[in-house]
Structure 1
Amino acid sequence: MDSRHSPEPLQHSPNSLGDPLLPQSVRRPRQEEFREKIDKKETFEKDALTGLHGQRYLCRAIDACLAQSRKRDLTATLALLQLENFYEIRSWVGLSEADLLLTDIAQLLKTSLPKRVLLCRCHNFEFAALLLADCSVNARLITDKLKQALLSAVSPSLPRQLELKCGVGLAKLETNIPSWPVVFARARHNLSLAHHHRELPAHLVSISPDVALKQLHAALKCSELELNFQAMVKLAEDPLQHYEVRCSLSHHEQSLPTLLLFETAARNALGEKLDRRIIEQTLRRLSQDATPNRRLVVNLSHNSLVSIPFLRWLEERLSERRTFASQLIFQISETDALIAQHHLNTFCKVIEKLGCKLSLSNFGCTPKPLRYLSLVPASYVKLDTGLFRKIDVNQASLASLNSLIKELHERQISVIAPMLEQLPILPLLWQANVDFMQGNCLHQPSSSMDFEFIETRTVCLTVAK
């Protein structure tokens, strides 16, 4: 590597962020208070590269804090800091230089954070900090300043064509949280929202998180979830029948909407449990129907993406059902792929080994989405609706969509346009060379897979000006 691009030691000053000024009424617990609660018979090796405690130690500390919070007032927040594009940086500077840079980053984080913060290195290129009392109250301020300090220090050490991108997900430790996996799930969920904020309709905002979680637990106790299937219509002759698997609760006035069902599951570390249930029922349905030309798209939560036990379970379920495995297309969102990218290598290897295919949904909801395709060997992408919402009134939007789809086709990736409610937009999507169309104007989700894939419809083409 060119020496002028070699990372130089990062410059930092001890405790550079300082302790924020707060009312003196906020109690300041020492780290020893929760360290004393950790089993002293259990040994915790520090990370050899950074000298920081590892994730296992942090998980025990979180559980100790949760136990203490149920007995007395204790304020704590987990901050999950992800070096989002460190894989890209490592490929440019090389492994040894990347390790040196990672060591310097760890040292910068350690000296920049207040002393009462427990900093640990998580798996791959993630760090996590447990902030207590006044640091917890000011977690957003502290982590925002930390990101700025990190980016300023790292930039001079990188090749000119690269810049470090980092994200932070915060999760407050609450008394109703059972254990550390939920805290990590909420931090990762909030990290996802930072990349793609979703505005919920007013009637969904009114549903409290506790009520939503109660309904989810009730649903998971049922022997069977309610599965529906929506056809994905290909705009060319196709011997295969594609459906997306949908899951919903029973239809009554107080029922939890599907959007909140999966949102609640993901942020409470129950997404994996819900995913397993849906996969089990889908496999039974494939066995009952015995239709080999059918392909079913099954959505996965970010809880499953980062779970080794889930991958082992999936291998056990599918290793002897290879015919069914080839009929499954697992779908993950672009934002989940981004926040879980350090776990994607293992996940994608297992999916490929089993003979399943991958689909990437909400494609285009983040800047430069094509750069992440190297991490996910997707056979399909489902476009974010923002990419084609205005193509009927904006010629530039249509041209941009054409260009994106052309590049995806060059990568042998099929393109899906979802959530279509009106027929008049279909000719424009056809003109843009979209492969599949999906939406209520074509097929309402149904408990049966009996859509007539060969059908003639006439619609008018309106040219955008």
Structure 2
Amino acid sequence: MDSKRLAPIIVSTDLNESEELISAIRGIGFAVRPTVASSDEALREQLQSIQADLILFDADKAGFGQEELHTLINDAGKRLPVIVLVHKPVTDPMQYLSAGADDVVVASNHEHVQHVVKRTAEAQFNWRSLKHSQGQVREAEKRCQLLLESSKDAIGYVHEGMHIHANRSYLDLFGLGDMDEIEGMPLMDLVTSSERSNVKEFLRQYSRSNDPEQTLSTQLLSVSGDEFEAELTFSPASIDGEDCTQILIQRHDGNTKELEKQIHFLSQRDLMTGLYNRQYFMDQLKEKVADATRGLGNRAVILLALDRFDSLKETFGISGSDIILVDFGKLLEKEIHDDDIACRFDSSRFIVLTSTWQAEALQAYMERLAGSITNHICELDGRSIASPASLGASIIDENAPDANETLARAERAFKQAVASGGGQGYIYRPREGEMSQKQLDELWGKRLREAIKENRMRLLFQPIVSLNGQPEEHYNVFMRMLDETGKPIAALEFMPSAERTGVAKMLDRWVLHHALKQLAARLRDNRRTILFVKLTAGSLQDPEMLPWLSEQLKENRISGDLLVFEIKTGVAVNYLRQAREFQKGLRQLHCHLTLDDFGSGANPFQLLKQVPADYLKFDATFMDDLPNSPENQETLKLLTSQAHAENRMVIAQRVEDPQVLPTLWGLGINYIQGNFLQVPSERMDYDFTALG
């Protein structure tokens, strides 16, 4: 952008004053392309038709107020600085600044006007340049990723013989579904048994060689057992700063053409509903946000879900509820505009990226969608099912934040629709003083640090009880925060922000430090107790965590076998290398490991090959109406049987009703946890002989 070219809008009914201002601006070297708006309607038209750089707003001669001015700017989806013009000096400019002005100047003081205009214009040009640069960086990153993902060549990356990344062609070549199935898989698992010794010898020679690129012809093996000839090209590479080896595979037969035809669909689509998947949607959203902030077209996102889905899931089970979601997805694809993108965003929620963004049109669009969904009938098991839906939208214009904050805004509007009774749509409208997600995260970080400093954090303990009559004392450790008035705040409210800002790692250490102090006190009273302590992703990635833990155990004179660390299954999958190394470190300290929320996914036990946990805590959703859910019972039975075959103990969490105990005992569950036994308490005082 040429920094000497300036397109201001002067909002004033005084044409003589406007000409004087234009002349003054030209006097500091700008090639001025001005427009003058003498009414709110004229300004509305100009905001829609021209690319302005800033607004000079005469507070006395505009014909309307500053509040209406900012409403017009926001409605147009613009991000424009405002310089308020006054006709006599003001002692307190805050009334203008707090209403959104960037500065206040006396209109007749042309030297001051020139200074403020120059500074404000440069700031606007720099902001646009930054947005443009950010867009270019995103585009470059996207192109690099697309080059890898869209390559017809199968490309994988291994470190110390284990896969750490692969593109879609590589996965398809071996019949693998996604990265979860290959991450951590040994390269030798994809080589036929007759060729493994040859490949091992080649790799030994390659590691000693000074030749960075070498090739090997060998026989490979798909997961379905098909063998094929291929040529492997090895070369050095780096993933996330970690040195590794790139492997490019070319088959010697013609079967790859059929596989290549599937790549485009599999890389973009949700296999259950046929809609776009979350990864593809997020790529598109980031691109459209970047376009909008550069003035290349506005958009909106609409988050929506069936209001009655939870009750429908209880009635028809997991398989029945899947059919309902597939039917809902087909309806959504039929009802949206041709150029809109519909995505299955998570388990039961959907999202639409639409070119309809102006508030009135967007509201009408959501009302039409809501009406179509309410009137739609799904036939299942001989029954007719209908459910309204709640919708929340966020507009993407020049003022749009990043993609994550855009989604957070849509979710706030969605929650507002749900709270209002459902069956309707709301558009996110920022309230005065409302903070972005980043600002909220920073605020939570500050509050958490203050709570620790002021001793307002508390540990809670909930018993984990054996169903086989073993009297050992086990407790799960939780935490909560007290606000400035002493009101408790559950960890669920602040942990997402804590994890995004890195404060969670500090909280993990706080919990461990204080839990070990209490554990040491119980040992002095001859009360042997085993504690289950949760860890976040930040601690897995912290190289100082295990040495610190070792010192804490020595300082408190505690044996590591009294600690069981809990990691959520999703975290272990996303940070597989770190989880694997952390588990090895725990073994050296004689500590144990639990995988929490275990059992979802097509093959959950595959993770245990890389992260061999001692305990498996089943996903709490399996407990939903368990006595009356044959499907959940059968799943838990199979999971428990396989876990026991691999010498692992299993825990059922969220046990709220004694009626479920015979079912759990019959399934072979080892331990139970939930409010039926005891709600989390600051004291470890449960009677572990109560179920004996």
Do the structures match in fold with TM over 0.5?
yes
Matched, 1:278 2:511: yes
Q: Match of 2:565?
A: 330
Instruction: Determine which of 176, 179, 187 is the counterpart of 1:90.
Output: 187
Contact 2:471/2:688 (8 A) holds in 1 = no
Matched, 1:268 2:501: yes
Q: For residue 283 of structure 1, give the secondary structure of its aligned residue in structure 2.
A: helix
Deviation at 1:215, TM superposition (A): 2.9
The amino acid of 1:348's aligned partner reads Q
Q: Match of 1:217?
A: 446
Contact 1:388/1:401 (8 A) holds in 2 = no
Q: For residue 323 of structure 1, give the secondary structure of its aligned residue in structure 2.
A: coil
Deviation at 1:197, TM superposition (A): 8.9
Matched, 1:355 2:590: yes
1:233–1:102 CA distance, 2 compared to 1 (3 A): farther
1:411–1:321 CA distance, 2 compared to 1 (3 A): farther
Deviation at 1:425, TM superposition (A): 1.9
Q: Match of 1:304?
A: 539
- Distance in 2 between the 1:433 and 1:423 partners? 16
- Distance in 2 between the 1:303 and 1:150 partners? 34
Deviation at 1:226, TM superposition (A): 0.9
Instruction: Determine which of 628, 651, 674 is the counterpart of 1:416.
Output: 651
- Distance in 2 between the 1:362 and 1:126 partners? 33
Matched, 1:123 2:242: yes
- Distance in 2 between the 1:425 and 1:374 partners? 31
The amino acid of 1:220's aligned partner reads R
Contact 1:275/1:301 (8 A) holds in 2 = yes
Contact 1:383/1:417 (8 A) holds in 2 = yes
Q: 1:321-368 CA distances to partner (integer Å, 9 max, x unpaired)?
A: 563422111000100010010222321111000110001100013331
The amino acid of 1:339's aligned partner reads N
Matched, 1:247 2:472: no
- Distance in 1 between the 2:463 and 2:643 partners? 22
Q: TM-score when scaled to structure 1? A: 0.59
- Distance in 2 between the 1:359 and 1:268 partners? 25
Contact 2:441/2:501 (8 A) holds in 1 = no
Contact 2:465/2:474 (8 A) holds in 1 = yes
Question: Paired residues, what number?
Answer: 328
Instruction: Determine which of 469, 491, 494 is the counterpart of 1:258.
Output: 491
1:253–1:373 CA distance, 2 compared to 1 (3 A): same
Q: For residue 464 of structure 2, give the secondary structure of its aligned residue in structure 1.
A: strand
Contact 2:565/2:593 (8 A) holds in 1 = yes
Q: Match of 1:232?
A: 464
Deviation at 1:395, TM superposition (A): 2.0
Q: TM-score when scaled to structure 2? A: 0.41
The amino acid of 1:306's aligned partner reads Q
1:340–1:194 CA distance, 2 compared to 1 (3 A): farther
1:423–1:409 CA distance, 2 compared to 1 (3 A): same
Any gaps of 5 or more consecutive residues in structure 2? 1-50, 52-125, 146-164, 166-178, 192-199, 204-215, 221-230, 247-261, 268-277, 287-343, 350-410, 420-433
- Distance in 2 between the 1:413 and 1:267 partners? 32
1:295–1:120 CA distance, 2 compared to 1 (3 A): closer
Q: Who wins on radius of gyration, i.e. which is larger?
A: 2
Any gaps of 5 or more consecutive residues in structure 1? 1-24, 26-67, 107-118, 128-146, 153-165, 173-192, 458-465
Deviation at 1:229, TM superposition (A): 0.4
Larger relative CO (CA 8 A, sep 6+): 1 or 2? 1
Deviation at 1:439, TM superposition (A): 0.9
- Distance in 1 between the 2:245 and 2:674 partners? 38
Q: For residue 370 of structure 1, give the secondary structure of its aligned residue in structure 2.
A: helix
Q: Match of 2:661?
A: 426
- Distance in 1 between the 2:554 and 2:686 partners? 30
- Distance in 1 between the 2:243 and 2:190 partners? 17
- Distance in 2 between the 1:197 and 1:274 partners? 31
Q: For residue 308 of structure 1, give the secondary structure of its aligned residue in structure 2.
A: coil
Where do 1:116-155 residues align within 5 Å? 121-123=240-242, 148=263
Contact 2:651/2:670 (8 A) holds in 1 = yes
Q: For residue 654 of structure 2, give the secondary structure of its aligned residue in structure 1.
A: coil
CA RMSD of aligned residues (A): 4.4
- Distance in 1 between the 2:245 and 2:678 partners? 42
Q: Match of 1:391?
A: 626
- Distance in 2 between the 1:322 and 1:124 partners? 39
Q: 1:1-59 CA distances to partner (integer Å, 9 max, x unpaired)?
A: xxxxxxxxxxxxxxxxxxxxxxxx9xxxxxxxxxxxxxxxxxxxxxxxxxxxxxxxxxx
Q: For residue 326 of structure 1, give the secondary structure of its aligned residue in structure 2.
A: helix
